[in-house]
Amino acid sequence: MPKGHPHNVNMSSSAADIRSALLGRGDLAQPFVTYLGPDGRVELSGASIANASSKIANALALEFDLEPGDRVGLHLPWHWQRVAWLIGIWSAGLIVVPGGGEECDLLVAGPKEAEGLPGSVQVVSMHPLGMPLDATAMAQLSPGLDDVTLAVRAQPDQQVMVDDHADQVALDDLTQRQLLERARSFASGHAHIRRMGIRQGDSQWWLPALWPLVTEGSIVMADPSAPDFGSEPVDATV
């Protein structure tokens, strides 16, 4: 690795858009995100996240007719699904609006977060393995709320409509290029950290999805029910 670069930063990739940064990871079989929640521990590899985000990007473009530059209001709780959906939304060239409402072209929410949101809302199951909502959970959804899981699972494993979205606005008026630069800057201040523990926080919207993209490391997301990360090994926490 070139002298002066921290050992955790993936300097081999010059990708400026988020999808390319994901596919440019050295080994997609390595862990990308570990989620510790009330239903136990779930670990997803880079390959699993690439597959999930491709399906999400396909659904957004093909099922919901969204185009680059459209806005997705995201109301997902602290869960590995947030990582998959962030990367999927950005892979389609769309803008993430945390907590967005009627100004957005589509609203995506967890089952609990969906209640009271305006218009038609696509609900993401919080099943630990990404399975659709069961019959009981479906019966509890209010009119206008739809389980998006089946639409996503039906999509091709590879992204169909691919483009370079490096200069497309992604979050908080920052382009994908700028978000990746911010993530690399953050990683450069945490040299030698390969496994980062991240606690729930509104200021960390981008970090769980982008940390593994700019490093060869992974993240551990701790639900409030596991605030100390349990016995999960982490090199540092934020």
Q: What is the pLDDT of residue 202?
A: 66
Given a cut of 90, whether residue 83 has pLDDT beyond it is: yes
> What's the CA gap between 46 and 20, in Å, rounded?
12
The predicted model gives 188-207 an average pLDDT of 86
Task: Give the pair of three-digit tokens for residue 7.
Answer: 């050992």
Greater confidence (190 vs 13) lies with 190
Given a cut of 60, whether residue 96 has pLDDT beyond it is: yes
Q: What is the pLDDT of residue 8?
A: 54
Q: What residues does each domain of the chain span?
A: 18-175+185-208
Reading phi first (left if > 0) and then psi (alpha if -120 to 50, else beta), residue 203 is in alpha
Given a cut of 90, whether residue 153 has pLDDT beyond it is: yes
- CATH for the stretch 18-175+185-208: 3.40.50.12780
Given a cut of 50, whether residue 222 has pLDDT beyond it is: yes
On whether the CB atoms of residues 170 and 183 are closer than 8 A, the answer is no
Greater confidence (228 vs 103) lies with 103
Task: Give the pair of three-digit tokens for residue 97.
Answer: 């609006």
Task: Give the pair of three-digit tokens for residue 220.
Answer: 């551990």
| Positive or negative: CA dihedral 158, 131, 100, 64 | positive
Count the alpha carbons within 13 Å of 66 in the hemisphere toward its beta carbon.
27
On whether the CB atoms of residues 49 and 78 are closer than 8 A, the answer is no
Q: What is the pLDDT of residue 11?
A: 42
- Structure pTM? 0.92
Counting residues of the chain whose pLDDT is more than 90, the rounded percentage is 75
Residue 145 three-state SS:
strand
Given a cut of 70, whether residue 160 has pLDDT beyond it is: yes
Q: What is the pLDDT of residue 204?
A: 76
Task: Give the pair of three-digit tokens for residue 195.
Answer: 């496994």
Q: What is the pLDDT of residue 167?
A: 97
The predicted model gives 85-108 an average pLDDT of 97
CB atoms inside a 10 Å sphere around CB 138: 15
On whether the CB atoms of residues 222 and 201 are closer than 8 A, the answer is no
The predicted model gives 120-134 an average pLDDT of 94
- Indicate the average pLDDT of the chain: 90
Where do the H-state alpha helices sit in 119-196?
Answer: 135-139, 149-153, 176-188
Long-range Cβ contact pairs of 11-15 (< 8 A, separation 24 or more): 15/180
- pLDDT band for position 40 (50/70/90)? confident
- pLDDT band for position 158 (50/70/90)? very high
The predicted model gives 13-23 an average pLDDT of 86
> What's the CA gap between 29 and 133, in Å, rounded?
28
Q: What is the pLDDT of residue 133?
A: 94
Ranking 105-109, 142-146, 152-156 by mean pLDDT, the lowest is 142-146
Task: Please give the helix or strand (H or E) that residue 28 lies within, else none.
Answer: none
Q: What is the pLDDT of residue 144?
A: 84
The predicted model gives 199-213 an average pLDDT of 86
Q: What is the pLDDT of residue 14?
A: 65
Greater confidence (194 vs 170) lies with 170
